[in-house]
Amino acid sequence: MAIANPILNFVVRGLQALFGIVVLGISVSLIRGHHWGGLPASLGFAASVGGVTILGAAIGVMAMFVSFLDGVVGLAIDGVIAIVNVAGGILLALKLSGVNCTEATQDNFEKLVGNTIINGGCRAKGDCWYFYNENNPETMISRCKSTQADDVFMFLTVAVLAVSGLLAFLRMKKGY
């Protein structure tokens, strides 16, 4: 959705692209840290959210030059991308529920080992990559913080898209 001021549109789309790149990069890093067993679907979905967000930013810039993408079509595309980011953010937040990413206590360590995003994959219950190979809670806490950052950037993307939608709505209301 093109915004009346092209510079403002580039700033909004630049932030959207930047947040998408961060989400994609963190998600790929978490995927590469998964060693045993099947990859959790939530990590693949998070990487997809980053890719779709980057694509949406490119479409938002193209909307300045292609009139078809301007107006309601652009708002619909931004809406879909916002919904995908909300879904990804909620999914990661639910996957991290109950895990504290700052404490290395015994109770929290058991929660870290049991979390499929953080533990690097398991062969059996309690026989997980980061516990078995490294036995270092700091590595799992680092992966936990990375997942939290991924989550935050998805919600920040939703905020940027809300600003974009508001500015586009105001532009449509003025009629130019």
User: Percent of the chain at pLDDT above 90?
Assistant: 38
Q: Nearest Cα to 113, choosing from 90, 136, 93, 92? A: 136
Statement: residue 1 has pLDDT above 60: no
pLDDT digits (tens, 9 = 90+) for 58-67: 998 888 888 7
CB atoms under 10 Å from CB of 11, counted, come to 14
Within a domain: 124:
no
Give the distance from CA 9 to its chain's centroid.
21
What confidence score (pLDDT) does residue 4 get?
Answer: 59
Within a domain: 22:
yes
34-43, 110-119, 131-140 — most confident range: 34-43
Statement: residue 153 has pLDDT above 90: yes
CA distance 168 to 162: 10
Give the mean pLDDT of 4-15: 83
pLDDT digits (tens, 9 = 90+) for 57-106: 999 888 888 877 777 787 888 899 999 999 999 999 998 888 888 877 77
Query: How many folded domains does the chain comprise?
Result: 1
What confidence score (pLDDT) does residue 148 get?
Answer: 92
40 is in which domain, residue-wise? 6-97+150-174
Within a domain: 66:
yes
Within a domain: 107:
no
* pTM for this entry: 0.86
Within a domain: 120:
no
* Pair of tokens at residue 1: 């959705």
Contacts of 88 (CB under 8 A, 6+ apart): 23, 45, 46, 49, 154
Within a domain: 131:
no
Give the mean pLDDT of 4-22: 88
* Pair of tokens at residue 150: 């991924």
Within a domain: 91:
yes
